Amino acid sequence: MKKNIEINYNKYPLPDRKRHHTNPSFYIPMKELKFAPAGYPQVIKAINWAEYFINQNPPTRLDIGCGRGLFLLSVAENYKDSNILGIEVRQWCCQWLRHYIVNERVENCGILHYCVANRLDFINTESIKEVFYLFPDPWTKVKHRKRRAFNLDFLVDIYRILEKGGKLYLATDIYEIHTYHLAILKTINQFLVKEVNDSDEWTLPPTNKELFCIKENIKYYRIIAKKRID
């Protein structure tokens, strides 16, 4: 497992009043809303990557639901030869990360305030090496399941943007979500799916949530889904 970077939170303090959750409507596609609430992420169809990356290059890795960005920034540090884009619906996370990225000159890291339920049309086909979807909000109640970003449309998008042999990484501490991920992957049947139990197979730096699970001895589940090349 790769190590995380050290973030100086005295230099870059997190907001005093930060909410873990945000407006539930932010997880719903725009087309399904009668009106967009204030602060709803803009729907994007095309993008100029020079506006998001200091080095002006497009991303080859995506961190969907990047949160406070410890994992995002650590991947950027570990893979300086390629760009990683963090996508997050919580605006305060994006603002804090953008401030950090610009001031620390993290040239290969970008942040986008966006709801992936509105699809990933702005990402070129077969341009992404790896997608990370780690410890998402579970939305366990039946009436809330429509807010889950991980669905068939999402997976079709991921399949399109991944290069041949590209990988989708999934992690959750909720067993029901783990089995849900497996079921959706089985439905599309375009990935070679491996449940990961050996940490040696999972070389990524830990997320904030993973560190919490390790500290509290909470079981969590990991999947690597590789895009078929046949």
| Residue 161 reports pLDDT greater than 90 | yes
What pLDDT shows up at residue 138?
63
Residues β-bridged to residue 109: 84
Domain extent listing, the chain: 52-227
Spell out a b/e string for 60-89, using b for 16 or more CB atoms within 10 Å of the CB, else e: bbbbbbbbbbbbbbbbbbebeeebbbbbbb
- Token output for 102: 């610009």
C-alpha distances out from residue 24 to 9, 38, 73, Å = 28, 12, 26
| Residue 43 reports pLDDT greater than 80 | yes
pLDDT digits over 179-195, tens only? Answer: 999 999 999 889 999 99
pLDDT band at 13 (very low <50, low <70, confident <90, very high): very high
| Residue 71 reports pLDDT greater than 70 | yes
3-class secondary structure, 156 = helix
C-alpha dihedral sign at 148, 149, 153, 159 = negative
C-alpha distances out from residue 131 to 17, 66, 142, Å = 30, 11, 27
Q: Which residues are known to be catalytic?
A: 137
Other residues' Cβ atoms within 10 Å of the Cβ of residue 44:
16
Q: Kind and range of the H or E element at 72?
A: helix 70-78
52-227 CATH pick, 3.40.50.150, 3.40.1350.10, 1.10.8.60, 3.40.50.300: 3.40.50.150
pLDDT digits over 106-136, tens only? Answer: 999 999 999 999 999 999 999 999 999 999 9
What pLDDT shows up at residue 26?
83
What pLDDT shows up at residue 3?
84
